[in-house]
A and B are shown apart, each in its own frame.
Chain A
Amino acid sequence: MAKDKAVPTDKIAAGLTWRQLVEIEACARCGECLVWCPTYEQDPRESICSRGKLGSLKRIVKSGLGEEEQKEFLEGLYECSACGQCHIVCPVRINTHELWEQARQSLVKAGIPQPEQQIKHLAAIREFNNSFAKPQAERGLWAEKAWRAGLLKEPVRLWKEHTASVLYFAGCTASFDPAMQAVAVQSARLLQEAGIDFSILGPDEPCCASKLRRMGDPGFADEARKRADLFREQGIRTIVVSCAGCFKGLHSDYTGILPVSVEVLHLTAYLDRLIREGHLRPSRKIPMKVTYHDPCHLGRHNQIYSEPRSLLNAIPGISLVEMRRHGPFSACCGMGGGLKLAKPEIQKKMSAARIRQAEETGAEAIVTPCQTCQIGLTIGIEAISSCLKVYHMNEVLVRSICPEAGREHIEKAFAATEE
Chain B
Amino acid sequence: MYSKPWVLFWFFAACCFLYLAYSLYHRWKGWSRGMKTGAFAKVLRTVPLKIWVSEVFLQRQLFSLSFPRWMIHQCIFWGFLALTLLTMVSVTLLLLNLITLDAGLHEFFSQGAGRRLIKIWGDFFGFVLSAGCAGALARRFVFWSPQIAHDKTDIFLSAYLLFMTLSGFMLEGLRMAVFPSDLDRYAFIGRLFMPSRAGISSGLEAWHTWIWIVHAFSGAAILIYLPHSKLLHSLLAPLVIALNAAEEQGRKDMYWPKTKQYRPTK
Contacts and interface: CB of A to CB of B under 8 A. Distances in A.
A touches B (Cβ under 8 A): yes
Interface of A: 1, 10, 13-23, 25-32, 34-36, 41, 46, 51, 61-62, 87-95, 299-300, 303, 305, 324-329
B33 interface: yes
A28 B30 contact: no
B257 to A, nearest CB: 6
A18 B34 contact: yes
B149 A61 contact: no
Interface of B: 27, 29-37, 39, 55, 59, 61-62, 65, 69, 147-149, 151, 154, 230, 232-233, 236-237, 239-241, 243-245, 251-254, 257, 259, 262-264, 266
21 contacts: A14-B35, A16-B34, A18-B31, A18-B33, A19-B240, A19-B243, A22-B31, A22-B236, A26-B233, A36-B263, A88-B254, A89-B61, A91-B61, A91-B62, A91-B237, A93-B254, A94-B240, A303-B251, A324-B262, A328-B257, A329-B257
Contacts of B61: 89-91, 93
A167 to B, nearest CB: 28
Nearest to B251: A303
A16 B35 contact: yes
Contact of A61 (B30, B36, B241, B244): B30
B77 to A, nearest CB: 11
Nearest to A41: B264
B233 A28 contact: yes
A18 B35 contact: yes
Contact of A13 (B33, B39, B147, B233): B33
Contacts of A90: 61
A104 B197 CA distance: 67
Contacts of A95: 244
A36 B264 contact: yes
A28 B237 contact: yes
Nearest to B27: A25
Contacts of A19: 34, 37, 39, 240, 243
Contact of A14 (B33, B59, B259): B33
B262 A325 contact: yes
A305 B34 contact: no
A22 to B, nearest CB: 6
B64 to A, nearest CB: 9
Which of A19, A95, A328 gathers the greatest number of chain B CB atoms within 10 Å?
A19
A15 B253 CA distance: 30
B159 to A, nearest CB: 15
Q: Which of B29, B36, B62, B233 has the most CB of A within 10 A?
A: B233
A138 B112 CA distance: 89
A29 B148 CA distance: 8
A56 to B, nearest CB: 13
A51 B149 contact: yes
A327 B32 contact: no
B258 to A, nearest CB: 10
A36 B263 CA distance: 7
Contact of B253 (A13, A17, A300): A300
A-B pairs with lowest CB-CB distance, top 9: A31-B147, A26-B236, A18-B34, A328-B253, A13-B33, A329-B262, A28-B233, A21-B34, A21-B31
B65 A89 contact: yes
Contacts of A29: 149, 151, 154, 230, 233
Given A91-B237, A93-B245, A95-B244, 15 more contacts: A14-B35, A17-B35, A18-B31, A22-B239, A26-B233, A34-B147, A35-B266, A36-B264, A61-B30, A91-B62, A92-B236, A326-B262, A329-B257, A329-B259, A329-B262
